[in-house]
Amino acid sequence: MSSAEHSDFEIRDYLRTDLFPHFMCPGCGHGIALRALLWALHELGISMDKLALVSGIGCSGRTAAYVDTNTMHVTHGRPLAFATGLKLARPDLEVVVITGDGDCLAIGGNHLIHACRRNLDLTCVMLNNEVYGMTGGQVSPTTSNDRFTTTTPLGNHEPVFDACELAAAAGASLVGREITLQTPSLKDLFRAALSHRGFSFVEVISDCTEIFGRKNDLGNSTEMILKQKSAIRPESYGNVVDQPFRPGNWSTGILARNERPEYGTNYREHIAAKLAVAVKGHR
Amino acid sequence: MSASAQTQMRNLQGNHACALAAVAAGCRFYAGYPITPSSEIAERMAGELPQVGGVFIQMEDEIASIGAVLGASIGGVKAMTATSGPGFSLKQENLGYAMGAEIPCVVIDVMRGGPSTGMPTRPSQGDVMQARWGSHGDTVVIALVPDSVAEIYSQTIRAFNLSEQLRVPVVVLIDEIIGHLVETVAVPAPESLTLIDRKWADSPVDTFKPYAINGDDVPPMPRPGAGYRTHTTGLTHGEDGFPTQDPVLVAPMMDRILGKLERHRDLVDCFEAIDCEDAEILVVAYGITARAARRAVRRAREQGLRAGLFRPVTLWPFPEQALRSAAASAKTVLVPEMNAGQLCWEVERVCAGTPIARLNRVDGEVITPQQIEQQIMDLAAHE
């Protein structure tokens, strides 16, 4: 990334600023993730006329509306289903899904694994803030162990989903994870995902300061984000804060990549070939 | 005129007729999930769509199927899914999305016995009220109920036309019996069909409001990629398409969306009235039950009884005025239906003051002409 590219990017060019003030709480990481996504789209020169952002329900779902493009805010857990129909009907559009940990891994989990399996050319951005923020802070499939939420008043006892391992195992042909603090790295990851032909899954470690952070005494937004950094790269940043934000070491960057036939292209080529044989057979 | 341009007489199974009619109506996207007794529709679409440049996809579940259909329709392609009772239940939330965001789509429900898994291979008319009220909140939906394979063909085409014209989901309720019945259909030449496409936005991009309330009940749709960059949401929205909870903006939007079918009765209403002018016993029946009723009414007439049949083809919105006229001389209205009693209450509401008699079956068997005839006789004897 050159500094020239960075200076060239002005986020307000891509936002519906007439909708401001926006919906997000102070300290929310979703805006940083959206910035990185728009930065990547900018660098790739993708036309906002040809982009479709499909989002589900939750705080993540509300981010799409702020982008000045074709935006679809659909039902809870179903953005991948809508996006699948849209992309198959309109292969000319660049279709990006914005979803959250609850939207994607809980109510929408079935759609995620089958979207990974099909390998349709979609980019799925999962904003993981470990909590159902919009409904007031209930436990989600990615809430870390022992964390307090409104539905785990004694601390979370449930096992945690590793979304990237799930996506890779289900067949997503590009899988990656990044934290919001590493905005240029996150932008580069989005660039890779958007450029990839096939289903790409990007997990963004976001933060919910107002609800989740407050409930768990995780400090302000800066402190939360620095703790994320220490949890993800303890060998480099372990001295920043004493206590890791998450248990275990979360790897970041591109975690899985394979070149498999893209669903839409494969569908069209398969049908063309079979119909040609059928016509020949009738002669 | 060449032979191919003429009407073709074909023996078709009801479910296959539905699929062929959808393709003839311009459907180019189908997403579905296997479920008895509707699966032949998906199977036929899987064979037909690739040959006309369309897309068939079997999704991971019923919810994904209607989701993909709505995504394709937002993209500008006529789209359909088919299911049966349990799957129809699962689709209801996204059907509500189609109502609120005004996304055209056609949903076929080949009805089977319920509740729950019920009787997958047996006929029922148990989804009549689910079609009307299945999604949460106030709903706006058209439901059509054909009584023959030929009518499955014509009403499926009409379903696409109405959906495109009015931007509402259209449900076609098919009796399992008719879905699996093979009958002769006069398949019209493609060029003789009247096909209606939605209005596309073509006004200047800068001032375009996707949900404008300007006297026209059905705003034109912006085609993604055409530069409009609009927002589509299931949240209550203003004329600009963005979410709002301002009562000043919400009230007129809800009035327009929920009232548009009532204001287009001329397009929506469709019914058949047989011997209703002087009927003292009026039978109100739909789908396969109407076929039994037609014979029962004819037999009753032969025996000198003043019986008539009112058959809604458009079930929802309910043809209230037409039924009121048909029931003008009725002393009793008989509603036979293959459920524990659903449409009878709507009939009772519309024909207020006239006694309503019911004839119901929930044992997986059809109501026979003899049963209806017998009840007409009994009602006549007690008058």
Give buried/exposed letters for B51-60 (b at 16+ CB in 10 A, else e).
Answer: eeebbbbebb
Continuous segment of H or E residues that includes residue B74:
helix B62-74
SS3 B92: helix
Per-residue CA distances from A131 to A107, A142, A150, A230, B206 (Å): 14, 7, 10, 20, 38
Interface test with B, best of A50, A71, A82, A275 (most B CBs within 10 A): A82
- Residues B72 and B48: their CA atoms lie apart, in Å, by 18
What is the average pLDDT value for chain B, to the nearest integer? 97
Note the pLDDT of residue B272: 98
Residue A98 has pLDDT above 50, yes or no: yes
Contact: A89, B79; criterion CB under 8 Å? yes
Q: Is the same domain home to B187 and B282? A: no
Within a domain: residue B368? yes
What's the whole-number mean pLDDT along residues A149-164? 94
Asked if B70 lies within 8 A of A85 by C-beta distance, the reply is yes
Count of other CB atoms within 10 angstroms of residue A271: 17
Indicate whether B149 belongs to any domain.
Answer: yes
Question: Mean pLDDT over residues B120-129, rounded?
Answer: 97
Predicted pLDDT of residue A227: 83
Question: Does the residue B202 lie in any domain?
Answer: no
pLDDT surpassing 50 at residue B63: yes
In B23-82, the residues whose Cβ lies within 8 Å of chain A are 28-29, 31, 50-51, 55, 57, 59-61, 63-65, 67-77, 79
CATH of the domain at B155: 3.40.50.970
B341 touches chain A (CB under 8 A): no
pLDDT at B93: 98
Q: Which of A219-223, B169-173, B337-341 has the lowest mean pLDDT?
A: A219-223
Domain span including residue B317: 272-381
Probe site for chain A from B49, B107, B232 (most A CB atoms < 10 A) = B232
Report yes or no on B321 lying in a domain: yes
With respect to residue B141, please indicate whether it lies within any of the assigned structural domains.
yes
Among B336, B332, B328, which residue's Cα sits nearest to residue B282?
Answer: B332
B61 and B183 inside one domain? yes
Q: Is residue B161 pLDDT above 80, yes or no?
A: yes
Average pLDDT over residues B248-261: 97
Confidence of residue A6 (pLDDT cuts 50, 70, 90): low
pLDDT at A230: 73
pLDDT at A46: 98
- Same domain (yes/no): B183, B296: no
The domain boundary, picked from B192, B219, B253, lies at B192
Contact A89 B72 (CB under 8 A): yes
Q: A228: pLDDT confidence band, cut at 50, 70 and 90? A: confident
Q: Is B107 within a domain?
A: yes
For chain A, domain boundaries: 3-281
CA distances from B33 to A218, A270, B46, B261 (A): 45, 21, 12, 30
- Per CATH, which fold does A3-281 belong to? Rossmann fold (3.40.50)
Q: What is the pLDDT of residue A233?
A: 54
Q: Does B318 touch chain A (CB under 8 A)?
A: no
Judged against a pLDDT cut of 90, whether residue A186 lies above it is answered with yes
Nearest to B283 by CA among B330, B316, B349, B342: B330
- A55–B contact, CB cutoff 8 A: no
Average pLDDT over residues B196-221: 93
Last residue within a domain, chosen from B169, B192, B215:
B192
Domain match, B152 and B289 both: no
Q: What is the CATH number of the domain that holds B287?
A: 3.40.50.920
Number of domains in chain B: 2
What would the pLDDT profile of B78-92 be if each residue is shown by its tens digit? 999 999 999 999 999
Lowest model confidence (mean pLDDT) among A153-157, A277-281, B217-221: A277-281
Q: Does residue B315 contact residue B266 with C-beta atoms inside 8 Å? A: no
Q: Determine the average pLDDT of the residues in B339-367.
A: 97
Q: List the single range of A7-11, B148-152, B185-189, B297-301 with lowest mean pLDDT.
A: A7-11
Confidence of residue B1 (pLDDT cuts 50, 70, 90): very low
Residues of A whose CB is below 8 A from B236: none
Domain assignment of residue B106, yes or no: yes
Helix, strand or coil, per DSSP, at residue A54: strand
What's the pTM? 0.96
Is residue A260 within 8 angstroms of chain B, CB to CB?
no
Amino acid at A26: P
pLDDT for B359 beyond 60: yes
Final residue before a domain boundary, out of B136, B162, B192: B192
The count of CB pairs under 8 A between chains A and B is 128
Nearest to A85 by CA among B70, B163, B51: B70
Query: Tell me, what's the pLDDT at A3?
Result: 46
One domain for residues B188 and B292: no
